[in-house]
Structure 1
């Protein structure tokens, strides 16, 4: 269990310790945000690679649930933490509605993946993913359509207030 230096018997004033805590929290938050953004980019790259691999082997024409199951299993095997059909609660006018929506996949609690098996991705699909990103306060999401001739034409990466590292 972590204890403050004051409890260790160090001669440090309360004012100084509060200032140190603020600096430590700020630096930790900056580092966590940098790490989070880098991780999202790396994770999304891995997810896209796996999706392409799955599409090459299985081809188009299967149900969304099949692609979701296979992608989740494939990413889990590679060591990623994958959650399927994650419920999203919404708040409206003081009411909380649990499980109003469900995200297909949530990778490493950072990357939202919405899987489709439709002829063509429509604007409504992108709006759906952007709504999920906004409600979950996540910066990046992938919209993957497995029904195209090639997977390349079915990949869309959407951002919600995403700022890359310089």
Structure 2
């Protein structure tokens, strides 16, 4: 069973997202949920970087293109937010690619676009090749 003792940071971030969904419900744009979650993370004292730049290296070469993660908390937990009525499955690939290029091992996907908050935890071994 998953408890706060097993992974307190992930547990606290999920709690913050639940607070946002409880207050706003579904139907807003993703940017609204990002702003509300930023406020909640700040209020709860959870260190974060919003719109964290994710550089891409290819064979040791830094590519000009990059991506942006919605949040990275404590420098170790990547967060991706959506506000969709249905997830398509491409969100999984997006998260896995973000984990691969950052070498982070944990991520959370939140979807605020449904009556109940949807979230999915991703845990990758440190040396996983995706």
Q: How many residues align structurally? A: 123
Q: 1:94 to 1:46 in 2, by over 3 A?
A: closer
* Structure 2 portions without partners, runs of 5+: none
Structure 1 pair 117–156 and aligned structure 2 pair: CA distance change class (3 A): same
Where in structure 1 are there 5+ consecutive unaligned residues? 1-37
1:81 equivalent among 40, 44, 47: 47
Is 1:106 the counterpart of 2:72 in the alignment?
yes
Structure in which a larger fraction of residues adopt strand: 2
1:159 aligns with 2:123: yes
Distance in 2 of aligned mates of 1:144 and 1:124:
14
Tell me the residue number matched to 2:111.
Answer: 145
Task: Return structure 1 stretches of 4+ with deviation > 2 angstroms.
Answer: none
Partner deviation per Cα, 1:18-50 (whole Å, 9 max, x = no partner): xxxxxxxxxxxxxxxxxxxx9992111111111
Q: Any idea what the Cα deviations from partners look like across 1:48-80, whole Å, max 9, x if unmatched?
A: 111111111101011111111111121111111
* Aligned pairs for 1:3-152 within 5 A: 41-98=7-64, 100-151=66-117
Structure number with higher helix proportion: 1
Does structure 1 retain, via aligned residues, the 8 Å contact 2:79–2:107? yes
* Bigger mean CA deviation after superposition, 136-145 or 74-83: 74-83
Offset, 1:90: 0.7
SS of the aligned residue for 1:125 comes to helix
Find the aligned partners of 1:85 and 1:145 in 2 and give their Cα distance: 17
Computing the radius of gyration from Cα coordinates, the structure with the larger value is 1
Residues 88, 98 of structure 1: 8 Å contact kept: no
Higher RCO (CA-CA < 8 Å; seq separation 6+): 2
